[in-house]
Amino acid sequence: MMKQSEIENRLERITGIYNKLSELMELLPAPDNIKIKLINLLVGDKDMEELIEGIKKRRPPRFILIGRTGVGKSSLINAICGKYLAEESDVQVGTTFGEKYSYKFMGKTIFEVIDTRGIGESLKTNRSAEEDLKDLVANFSPDAILFLVEGRAYVPEDITVLKKTNDILGFKIPAIAISAQVDKLQESREKNPNNYSERKKRNIEDAAYQLSKILAENDITPLGILPVSSYIEWNEDPTKVEKESWNKLKIIFDGRYNIDKLLDLLENNMSIKAGIFLMLYSRLDQVSRKIANRFIKVFSGISLAIATTPIPFSDIILLSSLQAILIMLIAYLSGRDLSFGTAKELLVSLGAGGATGFGFRVLFQQGSKFANLIFPGAGSALSAAIAGGGTYAIGKAAIAYFIQGVSRDKLKDIVKSAQDEYKGTIDNFVFA
Ligand SMILES: Nc1nc2c(ncn2[C@@H]2O[C@H](COP(=O)(O)OP(=O)(O)OP(=O)(O)O)[C@@H](O)[C@H]2O)c(=O)[nH]1
Ligand SMILES: [Mg+2]
């Protein structure tokens, strides 16, 4: 697995390249007019721009945490990134009802949080409290609201805060309701989620159901309702260790439950800037694949655009070149060199070139022949589904080969099933 610093360096390089696409094109054995068209396509694409911006300007996610003292808000944040973070209060933004905190690791802010513990009661009675909350939220511009309740012990004040916060935000940001500390449900001695009994699983489902009922009764419709355990045993008792040493604490028992689902929900619904940062600090082993998937989505979209404004014959060359760039980027994300050689390695495995031994300059001149190898029946005119699905499938093969280490002989099957999976519209996919 690549280290965080190496992945970050690679992301830096990719965003740098986007500003100098001509350098990337130099690596590609395609005719000049194709390269120019490609640059225009990549520069003009809104989704591409958003993704590059998201990578470049990644920043700590901002959460509003709603939940009583002791419900497990801080523990959830630790569970999300698998580290024991230092919670630092931002004195400047503190009010009587909500306070801003930074969660730091080795001096670096990983999360920014507004903790609203205890605010419910004053909201009920105090108008200026509501105004204050409004200001706090407006200045903070949160990425998500996390609402925590333990078991059935929900408190009406919490519901008040959740309602108010959502009113203030106009339901624009994702709210996720969490039934916390479900490891404590019967049988509470079993802390390993892999060994949860059927009875315990039923109890967990029930806790989530009870929470969903409370929310429904209050007309609150969160993006998701999740039962979660943040249970972690550290190699030393954090409360007995100096704050300076928290970053050295290691997990010796991992009882986390559903944190992955929570992360999926957050990543897929937050701004890309916060989502990419979150990936880097929560699931480093999956970052390459996840970012590769985002590139696949963007490149498939561009492929659709190529097919819907056809330039006879040359569109297939354009498409193959675009796909070659996608493969190069995915290979690069996996730790390979940024070169056309890596793309060629994959394309050869897929049947383009290899056996007949024709070079890739010829390949780009014989675009339609290549098209028929990879997308049977394509010919010289491309349908949108074939273009989008082809790029999607080639991208998936690139992830399998470069990132997941799948062997070459399985790649054709992966291309085929990915094409089946892609039925015209890509927006229905969750890019996990
Ligand atoms: N078993 C179990 N204990 C938990 C879990 N989450 C938190 N705890 C424990 O509950 C206690 C309170 O957790 P915190 O994370 O400090 O709660 P909090 O909501 O941040 O509390 P305040 O900061 O006071 O508002 C700690 O002793 C945690 O170890 C969980 O999922 N399972
Ligand atoms: Mg706390």
Q: What is the 3-state secondary structure (H, E, C) of 344-384?
A: HHHHHHCCCCCCCCCCHHHHHHCHHHHHHHHCCCCCCCCCH
Q: Are residues 141 and 96 in the same domain?
A: yes
Q: Kindly report whether the global pTM for this prediction surpasses the value 0.85.
A: yes
CB of 61 closer than 8 Å to CB of 277: yes
Is residue 222 a part of any domain in this protein? yes
Give, as residue ranges, everything with CB less than 5 Å from ion ligand 2: 73-74
pLDDT band at 126 (very low <50, low <70, confident <90, very high): low
Q: Which atom of ligand 1 is nearest to the CA of 228?
A: 31
Distances (CA, A) of 207 to 151, 214, 220, 300: 6, 11, 17, 41
108 and 247 share one domain: yes
Q: Are 323 and 247 within one domain?
A: no
Q: According to the model, what pLDDT value does residue 202 have?
A: 97
* Choice from 75, 77, 147 to test ligand 1 binding pocket (greatest atom count within 8 A of CB): 75
The verdict on residue 275 lying in a domain is no
**Same domain, residue pair 216 and 355:** no
Confidence of residue 429 (pLDDT cuts 50, 70, 90): very low
Ligand 1 atom 30: the closest Cα is on which residue? 181
pLDDT of residue 92: 62
- On whether both 51 and 72 belong to a single domain, the answer is no
Q: Does ligand 1 lie within 6 Å of residue 117's CB atom?
A: yes
Amino acid in position 328: M
Q: Which of 269, 304, 323 is the last residue of a domain?
A: 269
Q: From the CA atom positions of the chain, what is the Rg in Å?
A: 25
Ligand 1 atom showing the smallest separation from residue 181 Cα: 31
94 assigned to some structural domain: yes
- Please work out whether the CB of residue 370 comes within 6 Å of at least one atom of ligand 1: no
The CATH number of the domain holding residue 101 is 3.40.50.300
145 & 291 share domain: no
pLDDT for 379 beyond 60: no
Q: What share of the chain is helix, strand, coil (3-state, %, to 5)?
A: 60, 10, 30
- By mean pLDDT, which of 6-20, 186-200, 247-261, 309-323 is the weakest? 309-323
In a shared domain, residues 200 and 91: yes
Per-residue pLDDT at 356: 36
pLDDT of residue 176: 95
**Atom 8 (ligand 1) nearest CA:** 72
Structural domain of 232: 62-269
Rounded Cα distance between 219 and 209, Å, is 15
Which ligand is the nearest neighbour of the Cα of 119?
A: 1
